[in-house]
Amino acid sequence: MSQQEIVLKIFQFVILLFALSLHEAAHAWMASRLGDQTARMLGRVTLNPIKHIDPVGTILIPLAMLFLPGSGRLLFGWARPTPVNTRNFKQVVRDDILTTLAGPCSNIAASVAALIGLIIVAKVTPTGAIVVKELAMGMLDPSLMQASPIIFPLVVLLYMGIVLNLFLAAFNLLPLPPLDGSHIIRHMLPYNALRVYDSLGMISLILILFFGGPVVNLMVSPALYAFNRVLLAL
Protein backbone atom coordinates (compact mmCIF):
# COMPACT_ATOMS: atom_id res chain seq x y z
CA MET A 1 0.00 0.00 0.00
CA SER A 2 1.50 3.31 -1.09
CA GLN A 3 1.83 6.36 1.13
CA GLN A 4 -0.81 8.19 -0.92
CA GLU A 5 -3.28 5.33 -0.48
CA ILE A 6 -2.71 5.39 3.28
CA VAL A 7 -3.31 9.16 3.36
CA LEU A 8 -6.56 8.78 1.39
CA LYS A 9 -7.76 6.06 3.76
CA ILE A 10 -7.00 8.26 6.76
CA PHE A 11 -8.98 11.04 5.07
CA GLN A 12 -11.94 8.70 4.70
CA PHE A 13 -11.78 7.70 8.35
CA VAL A 14 -11.65 11.34 9.50
CA ILE A 15 -14.63 12.26 7.30
CA LEU A 16 -16.64 9.27 8.56
CA LEU A 17 -15.85 10.21 12.16
CA PHE A 18 -17.09 13.76 11.55
CA ALA A 19 -20.19 12.57 9.65
CA LEU A 20 -21.19 10.15 12.44
CA SER A 21 -20.60 12.78 15.13
CA LEU A 22 -22.65 15.35 13.21
CA HIS A 23 -25.46 12.84 12.73
CA GLU A 24 -25.77 11.99 16.42
CA ALA A 25 -25.27 15.60 17.56
CA ALA A 26 -28.15 16.63 15.27
CA HIS A 27 -30.43 14.03 16.89
CA ALA A 28 -29.45 15.33 20.33
CA TRP A 29 -29.87 19.00 19.36
CA MET A 30 -33.32 18.49 17.87
CA ALA A 31 -34.51 16.44 20.84
CA SER A 32 -33.32 19.23 23.15
CA ARG A 33 -35.15 21.85 21.08
CA LEU A 34 -38.36 19.79 21.33
CA GLY A 35 -38.21 19.34 25.09
CA ASP A 36 -36.12 16.24 25.79
CA GLN A 37 -32.85 17.18 27.51
CA THR A 38 -31.63 13.59 28.03
CA ALA A 39 -28.93 13.70 25.35
CA ARG A 40 -27.93 17.28 26.17
CA MET A 41 -27.34 16.36 29.82
CA LEU A 42 -25.08 13.53 28.63
CA GLY A 43 -23.03 15.98 26.55
CA ARG A 44 -24.18 14.61 23.20
CA VAL A 45 -24.95 18.01 21.62
CA THR A 46 -21.39 18.28 20.36
CA LEU A 47 -19.23 17.45 17.36
CA ASN A 48 -16.60 16.01 19.69
CA PRO A 49 -16.34 12.40 18.41
CA ILE A 50 -15.30 11.10 21.84
CA LYS A 51 -18.89 11.66 23.02
CA HIS A 52 -20.32 9.56 20.18
CA ILE A 53 -17.77 6.80 19.59
CA ASP A 54 -18.85 3.18 19.58
CA PRO A 55 -15.64 1.12 19.85
CA VAL A 56 -16.82 -1.45 17.31
CA GLY A 57 -18.91 0.63 14.90
CA THR A 58 -16.83 3.81 14.92
CA ILE A 59 -13.31 2.42 15.24
CA LEU A 60 -12.90 -1.33 14.66
CA ILE A 61 -15.22 -1.92 11.68
CA PRO A 62 -14.20 1.20 9.67
CA LEU A 63 -10.47 0.60 10.20
CA ALA A 64 -10.87 -3.06 9.23
CA MET A 65 -12.73 -2.06 6.07
CA LEU A 66 -10.01 0.43 5.21
CA PHE A 67 -6.87 -1.58 5.87
CA LEU A 68 -7.66 -5.31 5.72
CA PRO A 69 -6.90 -6.98 2.36
CA GLY A 70 -9.94 -7.49 0.16
CA SER A 71 -12.09 -4.94 2.00
CA GLY A 72 -14.66 -3.00 -0.01
CA ARG A 73 -14.28 0.55 -1.24
CA LEU A 74 -17.32 2.01 0.51
CA LEU A 75 -16.66 2.86 4.15
CA PHE A 76 -19.31 1.95 6.71
CA GLY A 77 -19.75 2.53 10.43
CA TRP A 78 -22.01 3.69 13.22
CA ALA A 79 -21.85 5.68 16.46
CA ARG A 80 -23.48 5.21 19.85
CA PRO A 81 -27.24 5.82 19.50
CA THR A 82 -28.45 9.11 20.91
CA PRO A 83 -30.72 8.50 23.93
CA VAL A 84 -34.18 10.01 23.44
CA ASN A 85 -37.03 9.93 25.96
CA THR A 86 -40.19 10.53 23.94
CA ARG A 87 -42.23 11.10 27.13
CA ASN A 88 -40.64 14.56 27.27
CA PHE A 89 -42.08 15.56 23.89
CA LYS A 90 -45.26 17.63 23.69
CA GLN A 91 -46.36 15.97 20.44
CA VAL A 92 -44.80 12.53 20.58
CA VAL A 93 -45.25 11.41 16.97
CA ARG A 94 -44.31 14.72 15.34
CA ASP A 95 -41.36 15.40 17.65
CA ASP A 96 -39.99 11.87 17.40
CA ILE A 97 -40.09 12.05 13.59
CA LEU A 98 -38.39 15.46 13.58
CA THR A 99 -35.69 14.22 15.96
CA THR A 100 -35.16 11.17 13.75
CA LEU A 101 -34.94 13.19 10.53
CA ALA A 102 -32.44 15.63 12.06
CA GLY A 103 -29.64 13.06 11.71
CA PRO A 104 -29.93 12.30 7.97
CA CYS A 105 -30.77 15.94 7.21
CA SER A 106 -27.56 17.07 8.93
CA ASN A 107 -25.55 14.74 6.68
CA ILE A 108 -27.32 16.03 3.58
CA ALA A 109 -26.59 19.59 4.71
CA ALA A 110 -22.93 18.65 5.23
CA SER A 111 -22.72 17.25 1.70
CA VAL A 112 -24.18 20.46 0.29
CA ALA A 113 -21.70 22.51 2.34
CA ALA A 114 -18.85 20.38 0.94
CA LEU A 115 -20.18 20.97 -2.57
CA ILE A 116 -20.15 24.74 -1.99
CA GLY A 117 -16.60 24.43 -0.67
CA LEU A 118 -15.52 22.63 -3.86
CA ILE A 119 -17.15 25.29 -6.02
CA ILE A 120 -15.25 28.02 -4.16
CA VAL A 121 -11.93 26.16 -4.47
CA ALA A 122 -12.50 25.51 -8.18
CA LYS A 123 -13.27 29.17 -8.80
CA VAL A 124 -10.30 30.45 -6.80
CA THR A 125 -7.46 28.24 -8.06
CA PRO A 126 -6.80 26.64 -11.49
CA THR A 127 -5.31 23.55 -9.85
CA GLY A 128 -8.39 23.22 -7.68
CA ALA A 129 -10.60 23.33 -10.76
CA ILE A 130 -8.59 20.53 -12.38
CA VAL A 131 -8.71 18.28 -9.30
CA VAL A 132 -12.43 18.94 -8.77
CA LYS A 133 -13.32 18.01 -12.35
CA GLU A 134 -11.15 14.89 -12.26
CA LEU A 135 -12.89 13.70 -9.11
CA ALA A 136 -16.30 14.44 -10.61
CA MET A 137 -15.34 12.29 -13.62
CA GLY A 138 -14.12 9.46 -11.39
CA MET A 139 -10.47 10.10 -12.24
CA LEU A 140 -7.62 11.38 -10.11
CA ASP A 141 -3.99 12.02 -11.05
CA PRO A 142 -1.85 11.49 -7.91
CA SER A 143 0.90 13.69 -9.39
CA LEU A 144 -1.32 16.69 -8.67
CA MET A 145 -0.55 16.14 -4.98
CA GLN A 146 3.02 17.29 -5.65
CA ALA A 147 1.84 20.23 -7.76
CA SER A 148 -0.42 21.51 -4.99
CA PRO A 149 0.13 19.86 -1.58
CA ILE A 150 -2.55 22.04 0.05
CA ILE A 151 -5.30 22.27 -2.59
CA PHE A 152 -5.17 18.59 -3.54
CA PRO A 153 -5.91 17.14 -0.06
CA LEU A 154 -8.50 19.86 0.61
CA VAL A 155 -10.42 18.98 -2.55
CA VAL A 156 -10.22 15.25 -1.80
CA LEU A 157 -11.48 15.81 1.75
CA LEU A 158 -14.43 17.89 0.53
CA TYR A 159 -15.37 15.40 -2.17
CA MET A 160 -15.20 12.50 0.29
CA GLY A 161 -17.40 14.61 2.56
CA ILE A 162 -20.03 14.71 -0.16
CA VAL A 163 -19.95 10.98 -0.85
CA LEU A 164 -19.78 9.68 2.72
CA ASN A 165 -22.45 12.05 4.05
CA LEU A 166 -24.85 11.18 1.22
CA PHE A 167 -24.37 7.47 1.81
CA LEU A 168 -24.75 7.83 5.58
CA ALA A 169 -27.99 9.80 5.17
CA ALA A 170 -29.45 7.30 2.69
CA PHE A 171 -28.40 4.28 4.75
CA ASN A 172 -30.02 5.61 7.91
CA LEU A 173 -33.28 6.30 6.05
CA LEU A 174 -33.74 2.61 5.22
CA PRO A 175 -37.02 1.55 6.88
CA LEU A 176 -35.50 -1.31 8.86
CA PRO A 177 -34.86 -1.52 12.62
CA PRO A 178 -32.75 -0.15 14.23
CA LEU A 179 -32.05 2.48 11.53
CA ASP A 180 -33.58 5.96 11.62
CA GLY A 181 -36.07 5.12 8.89
CA SER A 182 -37.70 2.55 11.16
CA HIS A 183 -38.54 5.23 13.74
CA ILE A 184 -40.61 7.00 11.09
CA ILE A 185 -42.29 3.90 9.65
CA ARG A 186 -43.34 2.53 13.02
CA HIS A 187 -45.52 5.58 13.68
CA MET A 188 -47.52 4.71 10.55
CA LEU A 189 -48.20 1.05 11.35
CA PRO A 190 -51.28 -0.41 13.09
CA TYR A 191 -50.67 -2.10 16.43
CA ASN A 192 -50.49 -5.71 15.21
CA ALA A 193 -48.17 -4.84 12.33
CA LEU A 194 -46.02 -2.78 14.70
CA ARG A 195 -45.50 -5.77 17.00
CA VAL A 196 -44.26 -7.85 14.07
CA TYR A 197 -42.11 -4.98 12.78
CA ASP A 198 -40.43 -4.42 16.15
CA SER A 199 -39.62 -8.13 16.46
CA LEU A 200 -37.78 -8.46 13.15
CA GLY A 201 -34.42 -8.74 14.93
CA MET A 202 -31.98 -10.84 12.91
CA ILE A 203 -34.24 -10.73 9.86
CA SER A 204 -33.78 -6.97 9.73
CA LEU A 205 -30.00 -7.37 10.02
CA ILE A 206 -29.95 -9.90 7.18
CA LEU A 207 -32.04 -7.61 4.98
CA ILE A 208 -29.66 -4.72 5.69
CA LEU A 209 -26.58 -6.82 4.91
CA PHE A 210 -27.88 -8.32 1.66
CA PHE A 211 -30.11 -5.56 0.28
CA GLY A 212 -29.00 -2.38 2.06
CA GLY A 213 -26.06 -1.67 -0.24
CA PRO A 214 -27.94 -1.89 -3.57
CA VAL A 215 -30.89 0.12 -2.22
CA VAL A 216 -28.60 2.83 -0.84
CA ASN A 217 -26.79 2.99 -4.19
CA LEU A 218 -30.11 3.52 -5.93
CA MET A 219 -30.93 6.35 -3.53
CA VAL A 220 -27.52 8.05 -3.67
CA SER A 221 -26.70 7.69 -7.38
CA PRO A 222 -29.11 10.41 -8.65
CA ALA A 223 -27.93 12.88 -5.98
CA LEU A 224 -24.26 12.16 -6.62
CA TYR A 225 -24.83 12.45 -10.36
CA ALA A 226 -26.42 15.87 -9.85
CA PHE A 227 -23.52 17.00 -7.63
CA ASN A 228 -20.98 15.83 -10.22
CA ARG A 229 -22.82 17.65 -13.00
CA VAL A 230 -22.58 20.87 -11.01
CA LEU A 231 -18.84 20.37 -10.52
CA LEU A 232 -18.24 19.51 -14.18
CA ALA A 233 -20.07 22.67 -15.24
CA LEU A 234 -17.61 24.92 -13.38
Would you name the residues annotated as active-site residues? 24
Nearest to 56 by CA among 35, 80, 33, 37: 80
C-alpha pair distances (Å), 11 with each of 17, 110, 112, 187: 10, 16, 19, 38
Q: Can you tell me whether residue 164 is helix, strand or coil?
A: helix
20 DSSP 8-state letter: H
72 DSSP 8-state letter: -
Q: At residue 13, what is the residue type? A: F
Q: At what angle do helices 3-33 and 151-172 cross, to 10 degrees?
A: 50
Q: At residue 54, what is the residue type? A: D
